[in-house]
Structure 1
Amino acid sequence: MSIGRRNARIDVIRGVSILLVLFHHFNIAYRLNDTFLAQVFGWDAVRAVARNGNYGVTMFFVISGYLITSNAGRRWSGLDGINARAFYRLRIARIVPCLVLLLGTVNLLALAGVAIFQNHAPGGTAVSFWLVNLASLTFWMNVLIGMHGWVNYPLGVLWSLSVEEVFYLFFPILCLVLRREARLLIFWAAIIVIGPVYRFTHQGDEGGFLYAYFASFDGIAIGCCTALLAKRITLHGRAATLLQGIVAAAMVVLYLGGPIAETNVLGVTGMALGTAVLLLGASGRAATPAVGVGRVLLGFEWFGRLSYELYLFHLIVLGAMRTLWPPRVVTGDVKLLLLAGFFVLSAALSAGIARLYSEPLNRRIRAWRTAE
């Protein structure tokens, strides 16, 4: 749901987030402990970067809440005037084409006998493809994972889409019922408080503290609140830049400080609030990143533009690589070659899907709307 020019600074944040997720998943498949990276920086340092990719998803949640709320406010001149039918159609236009393509690809590869794309039973209970497909299309894959474990390798990533879309199912209803921004802020503040409490009461249960709705809703709610506050708070100038630098440094310390299994209770809240500060600094600044930042951030921006396609399809690439080069037989710096190939192939696949499939369908579905 973007209107007008994209905000390059937000795409940079999104690009950092998706690359953290990709690096996390690659290290799970091909442990990098015996590579040149581990020799130069130390395995503890490499592992610290790789182990907390779920915090990248937390950042996604905040960005999503921010963009949905700010775009809806601009589109309908305030959240109290939101058109629920149009809102859902716009969500369908962006979400469903890639989701259907992912499901079709995984189902065909599973039927073709490619083992890694078939369902598995990590919890000891077999789950049918009918149930996995249903959970994917009706947005409760996170619940299925909580019950049975990561039952399908590439479709497991849909847990976060389930969280987002259930939140947005109620978004326009809340806006129309509560109407005033002050009431919405109070409601979302309650969701923000519930988040760490829920995670605290589900320690030891990964399906609870990582994937459950109320373990993740607070990140989206923080993004929604940030969008409303951005109309009243501006973070520009040298003092704001210093503040954002301090916040970014604190986020790095939190990210590297310990595994998410140990830090999630307040860690998710901290990463979400830090992302909110960065978004406030990016608010209203749609130009490309500052010249002094250099081409590296422009690369992050490019990855950020493809973040949805990358998130959904990168495990297709990694699954294929694991089939062709089983991790048990890959050692040393060959893993770094595979890492580079993984990033390149994932980017190429996602760019192709975006250009030839998801963006054209997005525009076509939006064009079907009636006058409102």
Structure 2
Amino acid sequence: MAFEFISQALRQQESESLLRTRAINHGAINFSANDYLGLSTHPELIAAWQRGATEYGVGSGGSFLVTGYTHAHAVLEEKLAEITGYESSLLFNSGYSANQALIKVLLNKNDLLVQDKLNHASLIEAGMYSPATMKRFKHNDSVHLAQTLEQYRATHANSLVVTEGVFSMDGDMADLQEISQQCKAHDSWLLVDDAHGFGVLPQGQNSLNQHGLLAHDVDLYMATFGKAVGVSGAFVAASKDVIDYLVNFSKPYIYSTAMPAAMALCIDKALTIMLTETWRVTHLNQLICYFKQQCSLRNITLMPSDTAIQPLLIGDAGKAMKISQQLASQGLLVKAIRPPTVPPGTSRLRITLSANHSIEDIDLLLTRLQEALHD
């Protein structure tokens, strides 16, 4: 029977406690969202989108190069370049699309791509489909990165090193200082995917500032609007030449419908709030410290992380699902993350904190979590 593999694959997923399903959140306290600053329901963002819809309509009507580019998009791109310190920036509909576009357009068969082993699926998949030679270095291991570049760089025309600023499933931060130095030493460009670092880190609100780096230390910077910014979409920041090259040669950019102008206005307002309501980052990081401290006092062992992503390693996928479901029945949304998103045997509860949470929310989570772990 044609395509019989579909039902077989689904049955196997279910037998291994790996079947993915969608569920509607009916008012549970959300400890799984990436809305780190709590901006997605901010009344000023809602009003900005409404004003944008009134002025521009709800759709863009075409790609950026045909009819989809407006004054709202241009102003937002200028603002992003100013915030990040780069010459120019370019909007995309998602971080997945932005990452794939960069790797696809920049690398050819004579080039080298070196990625952290735990990079996001969008980056790894792009590398697998790229004609470039792809090598992966041990997670956050700059020594192994240096060894990889020393072994392979000389035989390739161009070299691109890719890492996340904050790793989405582990919550730890890349050693960007050392990685940037290795790239410079081996004539390689560096791309940082800062989807989970942009807007939330205490030392300057992004991974470059957090590590004392500037735009000239990181050649390509990608971040998204669906996490701390509270909306959707993504951008790439780089030199003007790189952005112009993407506009002319990147198929995912050229042939995709542009994000609505109303969304661009909403993102612009979110960036303003992110930069002015600095109490949100302060409060978030206070919650992170409190949560980690209380977990230690209750003998709940977290994976090493100082960010809003606080993973609790369970190991077995079935057990992780059981605990997640128990918490859901008690009004707490804590999703279980299972293979292939994470390596086999490392299923976990990916607990994420938000500036919208209170100490009381966290205390409730800790109590219910402790009960579930000891059932």
Relative contact order: is structure 1 or structure 2 higher (C-alpha 8 Å, sep ≥ 6)? 1
Instruction: Considering fraction of residues, name the structure with more strand.
Output: 2
Instruction: Considering fraction of residues, name the structure with more helix.
Output: 1
Larger radius of gyration: 2
Flag whether TM exceeds 0.5 (same fold): no
TM-score band, normalised by shorter chain: under 0.3
- Per the normalisation by structure 1, the TM-score is 0.27
- Per the normalisation by structure 2, the TM-score is 0.27
